[in-house]
Amino acid sequence: MSLLALRNVRAFYGPLQALHGVDLELEAGSITALLGSNGAGKTTTLRAICNMVRVTGTIEFDGRALNGLATEGVARRGIAHVPQGRGTFGHLSVEENLQLGAITRRSRREVDADIARAFEHFPILKERRGQQAGLLSGGQQQMLALARSMMLRPRLLLLDEPSFGLAPLVVRETFDRLEEINRAEGVTVLVVEQNAQIALKVADRAYVIETGRIVMAGPAAEIAASDDVRRSYLGH
Ligand SMILES: Nc1ncnc2c1ncn2[C@@H]1O[C@H](COP(=O)(O)OP(=O)(O)O)[C@@H](O)[C@H]1O
Ligand SMILES: [Mg+2]
């Protein structure tokens, strides 16, 4: 069953239309990659889901419409959004960032248990728990953003270019952790990437977006093998 379904979604920034009828479905428990070059509409697709842009069309999450919910209401339905640039608080410690990620949660004990679990997935964050987030390396900040978003206990995780600005080895590690979290926690993932190579390694399915339109969709292995994708996005 699909957990999230976008049908004929158009998105607008004032007079500018950035999405032109996007259809997209995420199977529960899967990792889906949305690939495309700069300006294609990847970030806007995530903003459309979170109702941060003006949208027409339908967006259903778990069989119910998201349209009309405020961004905060979308989060409460169980959708965590890690924006481009990560959105962690640089002046706060690692642990404070994790606690803030759990701000909508009630049970102190559950939050503490989740922080302990985040430290199991990300041992480096445990070592650095008292350090200011702004002093972490780029890779560690991305791990923190991931760990923080999981503090909501989301059913769906939206990630905007987690590889951005990271060295190749660090990118690899970030995606390994992402795969581990998907498997261990059963969270459904939509990851937006310009780095098609790494995203296609962990994704079950992939979509390619160009100038606000989905131009290709299918199992990640098929997308990776397509001549067009190899030429345009994989460089071989
Ligand atoms: N805040 C904004 N105001 C106006 N236009 C925007 C804004 N954000 C993005 N756009 C435009 O929408 C289109 C899609 O952008 P975006 O979704 O950010 O692409 P991507 O994330 O794939 O690089 C681009 O043409 C971009 O210039
Ligand atoms: Mg973007």
Mean pLDDT of 122-140: 95
Q: What is the pLDDT of residues 38-94, one digit of tens each?
A: 999 999 999 999 999 999 999 999 999 998 899 889 999 999 999 988 778 899 999
Say what the pLDDT of residue 56 is: 96
Mean pLDDT of 180-206: 96
Classify the C-alpha dihedral 72-45-98-202 as positive or negative: positive
Neighbours of 225 (CB within 10 A): 13
Higher pLDDT residue, 199 or 107? 199
Say what the pLDDT of residue 235 is: 74
Q: Is the pLDDT of residue 33 over 90?
A: yes
Mean pLDDT of 152-162: 95
Q: Is the pLDDT of residue 103 over 80?
A: no
- Ligand 1 pocket check for 41: Cβ under 6 Å: yes
Say what the pLDDT of residue 105 is: 75
Atom of ligand 1 nearest to the CA of 36: 22
Distance 33 CA to ligand 2 centre (A): 13
**Could you tell me the pTM of the whole model?**
0.95
Q: Is the pLDDT of residue 34 over 90?
A: yes
Mean pLDDT of 18-35: 98
Atom of ligand 1 nearest to the CA of 209: 22
Q: What is the pLDDT of residues 116-128, one digit of tens each?
A: 999 999 999 999 9
- Ligand 1 pocket check for 39: Cβ under 6 Å: yes
Percent of the chain with pLDDT over 70: 100
Mean pLDDT of 161-167: 93
Distance 160 CA to ligand 1 centre (A): 13
